[in-house]
Structure 1
Amino acid sequence: MAFENLRKYWPTYSFAQPFNAMMLLAAIVASFLFFPGQGTGDGGSSGTLLKFLHLFSVCTHFGTQTWVTFVAGLTMFHNLPRHTFGHIQGHLFPKYFTMGSVLGLVAMVTYMYEHRHGDMTTHQKIEIGVLVSVFVSALLNAALIGPTSLELMTQQYMIEKEHGHGDEIGTHPSGKIRQDPKYQKVRRQFLQYHAISSLVNMVALVGNGIHVYYLACQLAGI
């Protein structure tokens, strides 16, 4: 069965994704050729490439956060069996947090590099603090909070399976399992880490929202 699934999906992995990446890269290269924009200047003024990397990282991260937080998660939670939903999240969230860490790092470094010369304004200093908080938040979820939360979720699901639960949609099991002290302990720990993870994710989401607004204020027009 596993071999059949590999044969079924291998064309997608080996062709579709590299093709999509190449098309995106080609579009970016074409944009640089037709719209060269600003070249590298003096006094800490970056070129178009650096600005593009900054905008791309911030917008990609912010868009992914918005989709995962407000659309994908809620849709799956209310339409999939709870354990199925959890297992999907268990595969998605490590990638989501890791991607956020990388994008947050790129956004932070490019902004700091852009303002490496001269005195920064108060607003610029605030934006650096915002970008640092976005990166640190994503990194905490990727390296510490997220993995612990997923491990506790796995332990919780194992106990629920023993009691014949897991196929419920959008709800938590009731009955004798609620009297299981081991289950109550694991579930309480999971809810605590899940709440912390959600709060840290919200810090990164709000931070990106603030920075996007700041960038919009710098635009001369659209």
Structure 2
Amino acid sequence: MCVRTVASSQELADENPPLSVAAPTVFSTIGGMQQQKSGMVASTGCPYGFGSAKNGLTKAKEKYMKLHEEMLEREAAESRTKSEGDGEGVGDEEQLHKTSGDEFAWNSFAFKRLAGKLRRRLGRWQDSKIYKVLFCTAQPAHVITIAAVLCVTSALVPSGSERTTSQAAGQPRSQLTSFVYLASFVVHFGSQIWMTFVSGLSLYFALPRHAFGEVQRILFPRYFTLNACLSLTTLLIYVKHHPAHSWDSEIAVQVISMGGAFFLELLIRLYLTPTLLKLIEVKTSLERAAGVGAEIGRHESGALKHCPHYLKIHNAFRKTHMTIAMGNMLTMACTVLHLHYIASKLCVL
């Protein structure tokens, strides 16, 4: 019994070494953990490893920005190669068309050469300082807004001679003026219905998202420019036939609604549409670099949903687009109000 007890004590001593033997191992383990923690702090800036997620987002942003820059450089190189090829091949193609004797082919070549010259001149003009001042700054928009306000104000407050002429009895109404008034209003209302409820929805559910964006980039400026011009035409003709001194509450409501529609469309065209087009361009470039944007009728960000730069641009795009949509609906409400007024005054039916 004594021998087994001694042996058991010896086994216990071997299995559980004294503190003086185990301490160096424990302390070395703790030192290694501290070194690993300090290395993590140095690499990520966070002692608990949360900075690795931030580094991942930064790497994703840098990756897609690099892809975007490479794509832009490739497109610029292709455009330069194309322009150089057009310039070098003009002589051979011209000689070929002259020797062939085909009049139609020669006319087509002459038109192509003229279009190429105009395109090159337009490109040089777009690089000039005058173009940048007129189309890349807000000063021309301010000038146009001030001119529009002065134009509407002068129409609402006529001079003394115009007031006397308008008060003359038996003044005939011009059929041409009435035709222009009705035509401008009808075209305005029709373009709103078509663009809002037919064209936009149909193209969104029929085209890839990037193709739909390219179409909207072309249609948006023309749509609001046309509507602003038509609204101004309708307002000026209506005020000319209804001077300010003859207004009642009904006419005042119509003037306010048409004036509101005109200024809303003008402000959207001058201040919101250029911002929206720039956001569409940047957003589309990032999505093409990431390989997304070919879906139809929906939006998928793919790997870009982890990129803070893309998310910031996407949120700005949504806010600007929503503001433009709300302004467009307000102008439609003003147009429907004036349509109700015209229907109540219609004497044909």
Same fold? TM cut 0.5: yes
2:315 aligned residue: 188
In structure 1, the residue matched to 2:292 is 165
Distance 1:41 1:216, change over 3 A: farther
Map of 1:149 onto structure 2: 276
How many angstroms apart in 2 are the aligned matches of 1:71 and 1:49? 31
- Residues 1:208 and 2:335 are matched in the alignment: yes
Which amino acid in the other structure matches residue 216 of structure 1?
Answer: A
- Contact residue 217 and residue 277 of structure 2 kept, 8 A: yes
Of 207, 214, 237, 1:80 maps to 207
- Contact map agreement 2:184 2:230 (CA 8 A) in 1: yes
Q: Which residue number in structure 2 is paired with residue 33 of structure 1?
A: none
Q: Residue in 1 aligned with 2:303?
A: 176
- The structure with the greater share of residues assigned to helix is 2
C-alpha distance after superposition, 1:123-162 (max 9, x if no partner): 0000000000110111112111111111111111111111
**Is structure 2 residue 181 aligned with structure 1 residue 54?**
yes
Deviation at 1:41, TM superposition (A): 9.8
Unaligned runs of 5+ in 1: 11-39
* Structure with bigger RCO (C-alpha 8 Å, 6+ apart): 1
The 3 A distance-change label for structure 1 pair 117 and 202 is closer
Distance (Å, rounded) in 2 between the aligned partners of 1:147 and 1:200: 15
- Structure 2 residue matching 1:124: 3-state secondary structure: helix
Question: Normalising by the residue count of structure 1, what TM-score does the alignment of the two structures yield?
Answer: 0.79
TM value normalised by structure 2: 0.51
Partners in 2 of 1:140 and 1:117 — Cα distance?
25
Is 1:69 the equivalent of 2:69? Answer: no
- Rounded Cα–Cα distance in structure 1 between residues aligned with 2:167 and 2:258: 24
Whole-angstrom distance in 2 between the partners of 1:165 and 1:42: 67
Match of 2:242 among 99, 115, 132: 115
The one-letter code sitting in structure 2 at the alignment partner of 1:66 is I
**Structure 1 residue 117, shift from structure 2 partner:** 6.2
> Equivalent pairs: percent with the same residue?
31
Larger Rg: 2
> Alpha-carbon deviations, 1:64-96, whole Å to 9, x = none?
100110011000000100000000111111111
Asked whether the equivalents of residues 145 and 193 of structure 1 are also in contact (C-alpha less than 8 Å), the reply is: yes
* 1:174 CA displacement: 3.4
